Amino acid sequence: MSKLKNLEELFHHEIKDLYSAEKQLLQALPKMAEKAADPKLKQQFEAHLQETEVQKQRLEQVCEILGITPGRIKCKAMEGLIEEGEEMIAENAEPEVKDAGLIASAQRIEHYEISGYGTAAHFAERLGQQEAFRLLSETLKEEQAADTRLNKLAKGYINQKAQEADK
């Protein structure tokens, strides 16, 4: 691996990492949607799948602006988060309990992405990459909104249903 010499190179590295993360998530979200028992949760996963497709395209735009290629970096953190999500998908659990578990996995993923996009957006701003900053901030807002929606579902009724699943 070549040496990262400055913030710009680190920024490029972060963008490639995010691109890998989004690509991996595009593979995982349909499985999460399929396994979600609650219709609103299912709908939320399906909506986020479409958002994720757009987020991947935004990163392609950012790469174009920066004159870099996404490359073959594999985001190992997302790989691990998805692996845990898949364990939950395969878990022998009451449907209501599984839904609560899927939300827990999905929120871990969202928080990871929020952190990644927050950093990348700040790097873009510092480096004077206004258009990249705008694109990354847009995705950051979407990830935050997705996290809030999951929180509302969990705290609204899904966790309660999981609590009462065996009654």
Choice from 24, 85, 113, 114 touching Fe ion (CB under 5 A): 113
Whole-angstrom Cα distance, residue 44 to residue 32? 10
Candidates 154, 159, 80; CA nearest to 112 is 80
Contact indicator for 10, 123 with CB cutoff of 8 Å: yes
Contact 140, 115 (CB under 8 A): no
Whole-number Å distance between alpha carbons of 99 and 97 = 5
Q: Which residue is nearest to Fe ion (CB)?
A: 55
Among residues 24 and 55, whose Cβ is nearest to Fe ion? 55
The minimum distance between CB 87 and Fe ion, in angstroms, equals: 21
Cβ closest to Fe ion, residue 59 vs residue 89:
59
What string marks each residue from 69 to 108 as x (binds Fe ion by CB under 5 A) or -?
Answer: ----------------------------------------
Q: Which of residues 17-56 bind Fe ion (CB under 5 A)?
A: 52, 55
Residue 86: CB partners within 8 Å, gap ≥ 6? 28, 31
Q: Which stretch binds Fe ion (CB under 5 A): 76-84, 90-98, 110-118, 128-136?
A: 110-118
Q: Which of 125, 138 has the CB closer to Fe ion?
A: 138
- Taking the complex as a whole, the smallest distance from the CB of residue 26 to Fe ion amounts, in Å, to 9
Q: If 0-12 CB within 10 Å is exposed, 13-18 middle and 19+ buried, where does residue 29 land?
A: buried
In angstroms, give the least distance from the CB of 55 to Fe ion: 4
Residues in contact with Fe ion by the rule CB under 5 A? 52, 55, 113
